[in-house]
Amino acid sequence: MATYTVDPTTGAITNDACEINVVHHCNLSCRGCTHLSPLWHKQFIDIDALANDLRLLSKFYHVNRFRLLGGEPLLHPDLVGVIETVHMSGIAQAVAVVTNGVLLWKMPDAFWQAVDIINVSMYPDRRMSPEQLQICQQKAEKFEVWLYLHDMNEFREVYTELGTTDRTLVKRIYDTCLYIHRQYVHNIEQGYFYKCPQAVFLPKLLKDKFHSPTINGVKITDSPTLGEELRAYLASCDPLASCTYCLGSVGTKFAHKEVRRSEWRQFQHVHSEERIDFPLLKALEQDLDYQEVWGAGSYHKMYYVRSTEDYEQCLVGMYR
């Protein structure tokens, strides 16, 4: 089931969204972080290397939205430079920043001028105050930025350290994975293109389980066959190496909480079978649009803020 289109004449790929990790580290330590950010040391994206990757990739690949995240992207000292680099590459219609919002109200006008969309993941006990939110809303209106607030109270388990030896189960996890069948979250990381964020991060973390940290990716080169390689990679029905340790969309659900970075991995020292929501797996096998996985109270509620009226409604919903 494709989530992207291929132009029959040129072979160019168009997808809804692609992500880059502007930094790897974060100022929070959420137990359910899908990018494993509490485990990474400070690391900032190299803007020149990014520009080169986008230049090569944009010959064959375009997206509606290019999403900048991490880690916490607002920790990058030249985030405006990153946004401008993406804009100049012509690879995307719009640039979105995905943030936990803690620093958002402090961001300078140059940031609001550069960005098109902001998605704020609002975590319990880490939400902006109404005053900070109001500053953001005013900036969004002034600079015509689309500001979305996602109320994130629950997570699903992302991966396990012990994985599974059951190849049939790995295929079932892959086939029900909404990251690649519904959410369109391709990733670019240090010269490689990936189907999903877990394909980037799991081999970097579980070094003894994978023979290369880039095992799941396609190298971005100036080869004329790059488009062909990308199309074959995206069309493949074979699970990625990282799917052996990843839980895709069917990890068991738990309430959001932050944990000490030194203790973060210990929660994952189990086999995949112990952290799979099997009723959800079966439901998704029958219907990938099964609503429970997306419904309010399952992942998040979303509020859109543009007009003052929207903002007031958002506050009512968020702080009631």
Of 193, 248, 264, 272, which one interacts with ligand SF4 (CB under 6 A)? 248
Q: Judged by CB under 6 A, does residue 188 bind ligand SF4?
A: no
Residue 243 in the binding site for ligand SF4 (CB under 6 A): yes
91 binds ligand SF4 (CB under 6 A): no
Give whichever of 217 and 227 is closer to ligand SF4, judged by the CB atom: 217
300 belongs to the binding site for ligand SF4 (CB under 6 A): no
CA nearest 169: which of 236, 247, 234?
247
Which region, judged by CB under 6 A, interacts with ligand SF4, from 15-23, 54-62, 196-204, 221-229?
A: 196-204
Q: Is 57 in the site for ligand SF4 (CB under 6 A)?
A: no
Give the nearer residue to ligand SF4 in terms of CB position, either 47 or 283.
283
Select the residue interacting with ligand SF4 from 111, 112, 174, 193 (CB under 6 A): 174
Size of the site for ligand SF4 (CB under 6 A): 15
Q: Is 179 in the site for ligand SF4 (CB under 6 A)?
A: yes
Kindly state whether residue 180 participates in binding ligand SF4, applying the rule CB under 6 A. Answer: yes
The reply on whether position 276 binds ligand SF4 by CB under 6 A is no
User: Which residue in the set 195, 264, 281, 284 belongs to the binding site for ligand SF4 (CB under 6 A)?
Assistant: 195
User: How far apart are alpha carbons 20 and 162 in whole angstroms?
Assistant: 27
User: For binding to ligand SF4 (CB under 6 A), which residues are involved?
Assistant: 173-174, 177, 179-180, 195-196, 198-199, 239-240, 242-243, 246, 248
